Amino acid sequence: MNKQTNKGSQKATLVFSAVLILLGLAIFTYCLVIPACNRYYVNHVKYQVYGGMKNELKDGELFKDLQSGRSICFLGDSITDGTETDGVGWYQPLAPYIKGDVSRLACGGWMVHHLMEEADRIPVAEIYVVAIGVNDVVFPWGAYASQTPEEYTERLEKLSGMLRSKSPNAKIYFIAPWTFTGQYEQYEERGDQFRAALAKWCERSGFVCIDPHPYVSSVLKEKGESVFMLNDLHPNAPQGIGLYSYAVLKADHSPSG
């Protein structure tokens, strides 16, 4: 009887030990191995701009600033943060062409309100590229959303003042709200209104407005959304972020002459 009890106890101990070992390995893999692999992938895999970095994409003001050696900070939401793409933001394909120090402050779900709330955390930089607003557009019922295009630009004006207080001579680019598809298409008119309001406000205020939406939308229609989009709101990687970085440079392209 005692022998059977001992055998049962030993078996239970072995099973429990095996479970603990497997659990430890799972935690180790999740916390250390996978993030390390993701970091290696981000740092060593060369993400390509859609269609390749053609000379015409190098004519724009933004590309020249990327090459200037000045420090640059990217601000935005999940598409800048790479929340859905293992930390790979939309600008990753441009990394080989950036000569200055790079910083980032972005988070999934952020609206203009959140960037204003986190202004103290925004790094000092000589160039800011602000890509915020798509969540304000497609989640109008959200407590922190800009309800109208006017409120959107009013908040951006306050945000720009906060950036100027950090870096008085900084150059500021504003990227118009990103493209969205599928379930969010009901907000297409609202998106166009926000983009138009941003363009007018930037022209009035002396900031640079870049609207990649027409170029992203055109390629999605021609090649298919499934090639570039992870879901209705986020690009995938590497194809999607390659398209988004291309569209930003294309929209900023300044034809010679």
The whole-angstrom separation of Cα 61 and Cα 129 is: 12
Residue 203 pLDDT > 50: yes
The pTM (predicted TM-score) of the whole model is 0.83
- In this prediction, residue 257 carries a pLDDT of 34
Asked if residues 160 and 112 have their Cβ atoms less than 8 Å apart, the reply is: no
- In this prediction, residue 28 carries a pLDDT of 73
- In this prediction, residue 19 carries a pLDDT of 77
Per residue in 136-176, pLDDT (tens digit) is 999 999 899 999 999 999 999 999 999 999 999 999 999 99
- In this prediction, residue 78 carries a pLDDT of 98
- In this prediction, residue 256 carries a pLDDT of 40
How much is the average pLDDT of 59-71? 97
How much is the average pLDDT of 196-202? 98
DSSP helix/strand/coil, 75 = strand
The whole-angstrom separation of Cα 9 and Cα 55 is: 72
Select from 106, 67, 62 the least CA-distant residue to 87.
106
Q: Which residue has the higher pLDDT, 122 or 31?
A: 122
